């Protein structure tokens, strides 16, 4: 019963990430003794934090505002012309390709972080899956870069 209460503060998401990214994360998890789910969650938080810290600089905040404004204008334009385009041009469906380059992964994240990711994704007009993929990529890059810097510093200190 206590374990059920612990999970009420978390959300379970199914996200789609590239196979190659998952392979890199699995390699790090295996080499360093992480549970895969813990590492994915940790790297996602690290990547989100790093991505959001850039908003402390005014120029990055201004750039973000412009992107949001452009996305809003694109939505309004799309809404204004989409009914005409749909009537004039039939949709041609492509057959599905068989070689998937991405996989679905279950991510269990805290409710507060889930809300932040959803708001960020909605504001930037991307799916929460794409947001998580971006954060996971940024987090993995930051983690491996900092780990390499530490190992290089240790190697230099030992001389």
Band of the pLDDT at 11, cuts 50, 70, 90? very high
The region that residue 44 occupies, defined by phi over 0 for left and psi between -120 and 50 for alpha, beta otherwise, is alpha
SS3 108: strand
Please give the average per-residue pLDDT across 43-62, as a whole number: 85
Encode burial over 68-95: b for 16+ CB neighbours within 10 A, e otherwise.
eeeeeeeeeeeeeeeeeeeeeeeeeeee
d(CA 59, CA 114): 27
CA distance 11 to 78: 32
- 19 close to 101: Cβ distance less than 8 angstroms: yes
Distance CA 113, CA 91 (A): 37
pLDDT tens string 111-126? 999 999 998 888 888 8
The vertex-88 CA angle with 83 and 92, nearest 5°, equals 100
- Computed over every residue of the chain, the mean pLDDT equals 82
C-alpha to C-alpha distance for 145 and 137, rounded to whole angstroms:
12
What does the alpha-carbon distance between residue 43 and residue 135 come to, in Å, rounded to a whole number? 7
What does the pLDDT read at residue 2?
52
Q: Would you state the pLDDT for residue 77?
A: 64
Domains in the chain, start-ordered, CATH in brackets?
9-55+108-147 (1.10.1220.10)
Least confident interval from 102-111, 117-126, 132-141: 117-126
The two tokens of residue 57 are: 């600089």
pLDDT at 83: 56
In this predicted structure, the answer to whether residue 89 has a pLDDT above a threshold of 70 is no
Mean pLDDT of 132-148: 95
């Amino acid at each position: 019963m206590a374990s059920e209460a612990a999970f009420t503060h978390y959300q379970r998401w199914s996200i789609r990430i590239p196979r190659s990214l998952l392979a890199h994360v699995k390699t790090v998890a295996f080499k360093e003794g992480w549970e895969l789910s813990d590492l994915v969650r940790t790297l996602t938080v690290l990547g989100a934090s790093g991505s959001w810290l850039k908003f402390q600089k005014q120029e990055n905040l201004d750039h973000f505002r412009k992107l949001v404004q452009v996305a809003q204008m694109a939505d309004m334009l799309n809404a204004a012309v989409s009914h005409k385009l749909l009537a004039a041009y039939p949709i041609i469906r492509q057959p599905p390709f068989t070689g998937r380059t991405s996989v679905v992964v279950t991510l269990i994240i805290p409710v507060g972080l889930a809300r932040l990711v959803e708001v960020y994704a909605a504001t930037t007009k991307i799916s929460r899956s794409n947001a998580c993929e971006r954060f996971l990529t940024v987090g993995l890059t930051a983690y491996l870069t900092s780990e390499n810097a530490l190992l290089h510093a240790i190697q230099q200190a030992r001389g």
